Structure 1
Amino acid sequence: MRTSPPSSQSTHGRWRRIGTAAVATAALALAGLGTAAQAGAATPVTSKVTAKVSAKTIAAQVAKAHVSYTNQCDATPAKGFASCNALRVTGGTTAFQEEQAARKGTAPGTIKPNAASATPTGYGPSNIQSAYGLTSAAASNGAGETIAIVDAYDDPNAAADLAAYRSYYGLSACTVANGCFKKVSQTGSTTSLPAADSGWAGEISLDLDMASATCPNCNILLVEATSATMANLGTAVNRAVTLGAKYVSNSYGGSESSSDTSYDTSYFNHPGVAITVSAGDADYGAEYPAASKYVTSVGGTKLSTASNTRGWTETVWKTSSTEGTGSGCSAYDAKPTWQTDTGCTKRMISDVSAVADPATGVSVYDTYGESGWVTYGGTSASSPIIAGVYALAGTPSSSSYPASFPYTKAGTSALNDVTSGNNGTCTTSYYCTAGTGYDGPTGWGTPQGLTAFTG
């Protein structure tokens, strides 16, 4: 991760960023991205967690990690908030990690900031477009389409960092002046913005850069929620839609709760809009809002060059027992009509996938918390990539749910089937293990052109 941002106001159950936690450097061993509960296929929390960590230790770790923490682990969170273990991690070791490690009798993981480099070391736009059969479409499609990026807090350098990324890779300018880029608060204001936060700024940079890399001709709308609660992030999603975005990427998540179905109705039920959500970076286990039946849940892969016809190969992203793509069977959300796997009676995560492994990560330019080029991974990378693919494919019909589109081309050459790797241990194999056809970690696979993302 990057250096820690200033401490935020303490709030019950803030939701965490997903992908920028996964930072790739050769000398850095990452551990402990697991800020969401490893809940299994469909096992909701039904009682309070008994902490085995002293209050002094918790206070010290909260101070070091700059996270908001509460020890109130009720089964049903207060309205507008995620469950207590959905923490936004920005560095160090969180109290939740300390607690979970103590319960398991293991040492807690520690997330460290990485060092920025003078030049990019990860995949750039040409790599992403090549890997997913998008080179021709990226050159000609996307004009007039708007991808919305929803994140929490403000990145004061968002416009300048986006300009630097696009300039380096030879992409056309995307600025406020030429109408390509716009940044607003969840109320739609361009002047009254949330408090700045260097941790979320890195997430914002990743999201903006991946949308640019995938759909260089698209306009980009950044909607900044006041804070990392579902109420505020959900309001930001609604704002993006009211401002005209037909593609909305969300790179955040947390543990499921019984409130999720009401969140579905309030924030994610937008026919005619492709809403993508990161599946999570804490290995096997269902998260929300990836579990919403109205969104495209996006898993993560390890993307590597290969001497085959495609030129690339992919496996499930799993770095360690605590770091890898999320997946699983929802405990609360109903199964959408287009999802036909029989092992999970409710919503299954994921639908599709894209590159997420920080070891084969993407280049990002960030100067608010970092000092230039960094290489990131996580499903925060894959969500805006898939949003960009939808945008290249064209505006969905007004009554459609674009999450269903890949299912109409399931098992065809329109998707790269990922058949190897796993993200943990599960009793129903396809929940956590890749295989021919549909599986939880990678869904139906990764894009091979636009066919699977058109209505």
Structure 2
Amino acid sequence: MRTTPHNSPAGRRRWRRTAAVVTATAALLLTGLTTAAHADTAPASTSRVTWTRSCALPRHKDEMACNALRVTGGRTAFQQQHGISPTAAEATSPSGYGPSDLQDAYGLTSAAATNGTGRTVAIVDAYDDPDAESDLAAYRSHYGLPACTTAGGCFKKVSQTGSTTALPTADSGWSGEISLDLDMASAICPNCHILLVEAKSASMANLGTAVNEAVGLGATYVSNSYGGGESSSDATYDSAYFNHPGVAITVSAGDAGYGAEYPAASKYVTAVGGTRLTTSSTTRGWTESVWRTSSTEGTGSGCSAYDAKPAWQTDTGCAKRMIADVSAVADPATGVSVYDTYGADGQGWATYGGTSASAPIIASVYALAGTPSGGSYPAKFPYANTAALNDVTSGTNGTCATSYFCTARTGYDGPTGWGTPNGVGAFTG
């Protein structure tokens, strides 16, 4: 059973959140409502958009939450830049960044056009998305990306045991997460194959089993867009699920602001933080800062309470594993376009954010960069070539005693790691 220390920032926040969820759930039961009113809608005071959590908050201590945030109102950065009104966009056309935007922002246009053939990016999520393949087809068709289908051998969906028929129960919230992950893998590495592995529940044990299945089926790049509180069991989970030399495993740093989450804290994974991405008049044409909306919403970061520090991390303020390693766009106000049709929330085009967007982006950059050498731990690759990253030097995701744990600076910092991709050079060993 997973526990979070009460005296840690993450622990205090998680227990407050759990209490709120219990209270809200009791109210729903009393009124007879069974809809996903747990969604925790939050305003973005500086971005003029509102959003809701795609998935339910954890109901049990060993359960993970997905880190997808779906925009529900306001005007995104993409709409502002292109003069699109919110009402005109709605669910009939994209209202967030698409493949060409993301490839341009991260210096990947050339690599995305030529690299990735024969490489498989795995997406690990909980529950089933019955519309995953058809929604993926709609996204790729709209943006002129090559088809990726089961019949053509590009797309495959399996359960955590590898079955293509005995799939988990469908879930509308996790379907939004799945669509986000599949679309980001497509946007960054359109020539890659995609393997979707669906765990039968959101427990760490089932999601971890799905990670092992993805690697067993040959995926060399595995994206995980979920997280929960740390616990003394994490070292055991590390060995059981995430110690896969020669495989690039990425994990979302979390969406609750400053505080460490697992499995982002695993020493075997690349922990991915989140940024706010906007166009600018700079030579790059884009600028980024730490994503933070409020005291309880923004990219995760922090010093692990349990996981040992990997040899390639050299920051001196944290004796154990420091989160994050690298980062990519995650602010819903500067979010990405996603196509999702399953369930009550699946109305077609939507804009999503959260570090659920940044984790599959980075997994797919690893895929563009090439196959990791056998026995290597790709999490250390960015540390060996920091010049091939965009250093994010402004913004904070909370209040902390050791400033770089929660505040961007020149060089390494917790919220954004060493920065965001500037081509593929930082992701090859």
Q: Does 1:292 align with 2:259?
A: no
Do the aligned partners of residues 165 and 37 (structure 1) sit closer, same or farther apart at CA in structure 2, a change above 3 Å counting?
A: farther
Q: Which residue of 1 is the match for residue 217 of structure 2?
A: 243
Q: Which residue of 2 is the match for residue 185 of structure 1?
A: 159
Q: Does 1:371 align with 2:344?
A: no
**RMSD (CA atoms):** 2.7
Q: Which residue of 2 is the match for residue 390 of structure 1?
A: 366
Q: Deviations for 1:394-417, whole angstroms, at most 9, x for unmatched residues?
A: 00011100000000012x2x0000
The answer to whether the Cα contact below 8 Å between 1:44 and 1:257 also exists between their aligned partners in 2 is no
Q: 1:105-184 residue pairs with structure 2 within 5 A?
A: 116-184=90-158
Query: What letter is aligned with 1:376?
Result: Y
In 1: Cα distance, 2:210 partner to 2:65 partner:
19
Q: Deviations for 1:395-440, whole angstroms, at most 9, x for unmatched residues?
A: 0011100000000012x2x000000000000000000000000000
The answer to whether the Cα contact below 8 Å between 1:153 and 1:200 also exists between their aligned partners in 2 is yes
In 2: Cα distance, 1:217 partner to 1:38 partner:
46
Moved over 4 A (4+): 36-41, 48-58, 61-64, 66-70, 86-91
In 2: Cα distance, 1:340 partner to 1:310 partner:
29
**Structure 2 residue corresponding to 1:252, chosen from 206, 216, 226:** 226
Q: Deviations for 1:10-33, whole angstroms, at most 9, x for unmatched residues?
A: xx879xxxxxxxxxxxxxxxxxxx
Any unmatched runs of 5+ in structure 1?
A: 1-11, 15-35, 92-114
1:87 Cα shift?
5.2
Q: Which residue of 2 is the match for residue 98 of structure 1?
A: none
In 2: Cα distance, 1:13 partner to 1:341 partner:
28
Q: Deviations for 1:207-236, whole angstroms, at most 9, x for unmatched residues?
A: 000000000000000000000000000000
In 1: Cα distance, 2:105 partner to 2:16 partner:
44
**Structure 1 residue corresponding to 2:27, chosen from 60, 72, 77:** 60
Any unmatched runs of 5+ in structure 2?
A: 39-55, 70-88
The answer to whether the Cα contact below 8 Å between 2:222 and 2:248 also exists between their aligned partners in 1 is yes
> Given the two structures, how large is their TM-score scaled by the length of structure 2?
0.85
Do the aligned partners of residues 422 and 38 (structure 1) sit closer, same or farther apart at CA in structure 2, a change above 3 Å counting?
A: farther
Q: Aligned with 1:287: secondary structure?
A: coil
Do the aligned partners of residues 39 and 272 (structure 1) sit closer, same or farther apart at CA in structure 2, a change above 3 Å counting?
A: farther
Do the aligned partners of residues 89 and 327 (structure 1) sit closer, same or farther apart at CA in structure 2, a change above 3 Å counting?
A: closer
In 2: Cα distance, 1:452 partner to 1:229 partner:
32
Q: Does 1:351 align with 2:325?
A: yes
Q: 1:417-428 residue pairs with structure 2 within 5 A?
A: 417-428=391-402
The answer to whether the Cα contact below 8 Å between 1:318 and 1:325 also exists between their aligned partners in 2 is yes
1:44 Cα shift?
6.1
Q: Does 1:276 align with 2:243?
A: no
Q: Which residue of 2 is the match for residue 433 of structure 1?
A: 407
In 1: Cα distance, 2:428 partner to 2:58 partner:
42
1:197 Cα shift?
0.4
The answer to whether the Cα contact below 8 Å between 1:40 and 1:284 also exists between their aligned partners in 2 is no
Q: Deviations for 1:127-158, whole angstroms, at most 9, x for unmatched residues?
A: 00000000000000000000000000000000
Query: What letter is aligned with 1:201?
Result: S
Q: Which residue of 1 is the match for residue 80 of structure 2?
A: none
1:117 Cα shift?
1.8
Q: Which residue of 2 is the match for residue 405 of structure 1?
A: 381
**Structure 1 residue corresponding to 2:208, chosen from 213, 234, 241:** 234
In 2: Cα distance, 1:180 partner to 1:446 partner:
28
In 2: Cα distance, 1:271 partner to 1:306 partner:
39
The answer to whether the Cα contact below 8 Å between 2:68 and 2:356 also exists between their aligned partners in 1 is no
Q: Which residue of 2 is the match for residue 381 of structure 1?
A: 357
What is the number of residues matched between the two proteins? Answer: 386
Do the aligned partners of residues 68 and 127 (structure 1) sit closer, same or farther apart at CA in structure 2, a change above 3 Å counting?
A: closer
> Given the two structures, how large is their TM-score scaled by the length of structure 1?
0.80
In 1: Cα distance, 2:300 partner to 2:182 partner:
22
The answer to whether the Cα contact below 8 Å between 1:39 and 1:286 also exists between their aligned partners in 2 is no
Q: Aligned with 1:288: secondary structure?
A: coil
The answer to whether the Cα contact below 8 Å between 2:65 and 2:226 also exists between their aligned partners in 1 is no
The answer to whether the Cα contact below 8 Å between 1:329 and 1:348 also exists between their aligned partners in 2 is yes
Q: 1:192-211 residue pairs with structure 2 within 5 A?
A: 192-211=166-185
The answer to whether the Cα contact below 8 Å between 1:13 and 1:229 also exists between their aligned partners in 2 is no
The answer to whether the Cα contact below 8 Å between 1:417 and 1:437 also exists between their aligned partners in 2 is yes
User: Of Structure 1 and Structure 2, which has the larger fraction of its residues in helix?
Assistant: 2
Query: What letter is aligned with 1:375?
Result: T
1:68 Cα shift?
7.4
Do the aligned partners of residues 150 and 334 (structure 1) sit closer, same or farther apart at CA in structure 2, a change above 3 Å counting?
A: same
Identity %: 73
Q: Aligned with 1:365: secondary structure?
A: strand
Q: Which residue of 2 is the match for residue 218 of structure 1?
A: 192
Q: Which residue of 1 is the match for residue 75 of structure 2?
A: none
Q: Aligned with 2:228: secondary structure?
A: strand
In 2: Cα distance, 1:399 partner to 1:53 partner:
44
Do the aligned partners of residues 60 and 401 (structure 1) sit closer, same or farther apart at CA in structure 2, a change above 3 Å counting?
A: same
Do the aligned partners of residues 89 and 441 (structure 1) sit closer, same or farther apart at CA in structure 2, a change above 3 Å counting?
A: closer
The answer to whether the Cα contact below 8 Å between 2:121 and 2:221 also exists between their aligned partners in 1 is yes
1:60 Cα shift?
2.1
Q: Aligned with 2:358: secondary structure?
A: helix
The answer to whether the Cα contact below 8 Å between 2:336 and 2:351 also exists between their aligned partners in 1 is yes
Query: What letter is aligned with 1:217?
Result: N
